[in-house]
């Protein structure tokens, strides 16, 4: 198979979808890999590294799309790429269709085969290709939240962990999935007082078992959320419904109950966000303020740490890339039910039920 690896063109997205190690393994089975010049540079991989592993280096993104039977990316195609995708071409990446009708319409029109990392699902319900980036994003949510609590960025001027004689900050984490647990772990490590919310008692019991005593749990409902936001310093949105839009747990009217300088980090922004006031931001311009509340809603948080993120991502995506390359997408999906769950669009036909549901509600 001819496999294309383009540069990610989304703002400050520095990850790359296949490492030289992946190129080496694919090349051993005579697959041809075409890598756009400098695609891996920000992640620590040079064009020479890719050449020595067996890839051919192409000068621009159009050349990569033109030659490849399968495009492997990290983030969803953006407007400049819409016209490059073609009928029958496999595109394997994070899509997050639920948050963008324009993207969905463009990919339907292209008649490409769209397989979404975020909806590949194992039999136990886990999302193996989302997990490593959720781990990175969860840890970064606390890290970024702590930074934007500083006064120069219009936060409260609070050190999350406090110091002897000074009370630590209060962190609310909405959702006890992978993102939420990683965010809580980081906040707890800094010494903050953490409350983690979820609607699953099974998850809350798990959190209670594994976390230190200064991490407490609360059942997620509007009453409890409204109660705790009044003196929260950092609120992290970590809610996920696989393939669908995230529910709005913090409404605009709740902002008036928060203290000025409170920071909200919405990790669910790729799925529409779990705050009503969420709008996508970039690493270049990451925050905005509404009612004196700082919002951080960067859509590709792990892109800021590309070395860590690229290795974490490619560790889990490569076996699926390898399977598609060896068997073709139809046989690979037929053989692997987890991969089949990732199939979102088939030459213009919507396969993913969540996309159909969201379009019906729009």
The closest of 180, 174, 176, 75 to 138, measured between CA atoms, is 180
Residue with tokens 């203290």: 259
DSSP secondary structure letter of residue 213: T
In the chain, the DSSP E strands lie at 2-5, 32-36, 56-58, 70-72, 90-93, 113-116, 170-174, 193-198, 215-219, 234-237, 263-266, 287-290, 293-296, 343-346, 349-350
User: Catalytic pick from 49, 266, 270, 358?
Assistant: 270
Helix then strand count (H, E) for the chain reads 13, 15
| pLDDT tens for each residue of 107-132 | 999 999 999 999 999 999 999 999 99
Helix, strand, or coil (residue 32):
strand
pLDDT, residue 302, reads: 93
Average pLDDT of the residues of the chain:
95
Q: Report the DSSP pairing between strands 90-93 and 113-116.
A: parallel
The closest of 102, 235, 221 to 180, measured between CA atoms, is 235
The pairs formed by 351-354 with CB atoms below 8 angstroms and a separation of 24 or more are 352/97, 352/116, 352/119, 352/243, 353/243, 354/98, 354/119, 354/241, 354/242, 354/243, 354/244
Is 295 a residue of the active site? no
Q: Report the DSSP pairing between strands 215-219 and 193-198.
A: parallel
User: Catalytic pick from 96, 198, 233, 295?
Assistant: 96
| pLDDT tens for each residue of 36-75 | 999 999 999 999 999 999 999 999 999 999 999 999 999 9
| pLDDT tens for each residue of 303-337 | 999 999 999 999 999 999 999 999 999 999 999 99
| Stated pTM of the model | 0.87
Q: Output the CA torsion sign for 141, 147, 153, 155.
A: positive
Q: Output the CA torsion sign for 113, 116, 120, 125.
A: negative
Q: Output the CA torsion sign for 157, 272, 243, 286.
A: negative
């Amino acid at each position: 198979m001819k496999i294309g690896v383009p540069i990610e063109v989304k703002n400050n997205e520095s990850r790359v979808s296949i490492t030289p190690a992946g190129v080496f393994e694919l090349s051993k089975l005579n697959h041809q890999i075409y890598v756009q010049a400098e695609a891996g540079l920000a992640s620590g991989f040079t064009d020479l590294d890719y050449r020595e592993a067996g890839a051919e280096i192409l000068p621009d993104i159009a050349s990569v799309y033109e030659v490849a039977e399968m495009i492997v990316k990290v983030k969803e195609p953006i407007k400049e790429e819409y016209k490059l995708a073609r009928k029958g071409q496999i595109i394997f990446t994070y899509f997050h269709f639920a948050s963008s009708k324009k993207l969905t319409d463009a990919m339907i029109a292209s008649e490409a085969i769209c397989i979404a990392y975020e909806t590949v699902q194992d039999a136990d319900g886990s999302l193996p290709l989302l997990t490593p980036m959720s781990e990175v994003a969860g840890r970064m949510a606390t890290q970024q939240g702590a930074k934007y609590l500083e006064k120069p960025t219009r936060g409260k001027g609070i050190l999350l962990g406090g110091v002897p004689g000074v009370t630590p900050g209060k962190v609310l984490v909405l959702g006890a999935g992978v993102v939420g647990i990683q965010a809580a772990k980081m906040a707890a490590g800094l010494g903050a007082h953490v409350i983690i919310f979820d609607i699953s008692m099974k998850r809350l019991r798990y959190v209670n078992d594994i976390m230190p005593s200064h991490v407490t749990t609360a059942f997620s409902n509007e009453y409890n959320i409204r109660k705790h936001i009044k003196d929260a310093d950092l609120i992290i949105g970590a809610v996920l419904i696989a393939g669908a839009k995230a529910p709005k747990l913090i409404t605009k009217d709740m902002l008036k109950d928060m203290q000025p300088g409170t920071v909200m980090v919405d990790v669910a922004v790729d799925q529409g966000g779990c705050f009503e006031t969420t709008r996508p931001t970039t690493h270049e311009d990451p925050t905005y303020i509404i009612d004196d509340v700082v919002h951080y809603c960067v859509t590709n948080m792990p892109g800021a740490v590309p070395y860590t993120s690229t290795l974490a991502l490619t560790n889990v995506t490569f076996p699926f890339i390898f399977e598609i390359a060896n068997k073709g997408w139809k046989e690979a999906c037929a053989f692997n039910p987890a991969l089949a769950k990732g199939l979102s669009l088939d030459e213009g036909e919507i396969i993913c039920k969540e996309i159909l549901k969201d379009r019906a509600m729009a």
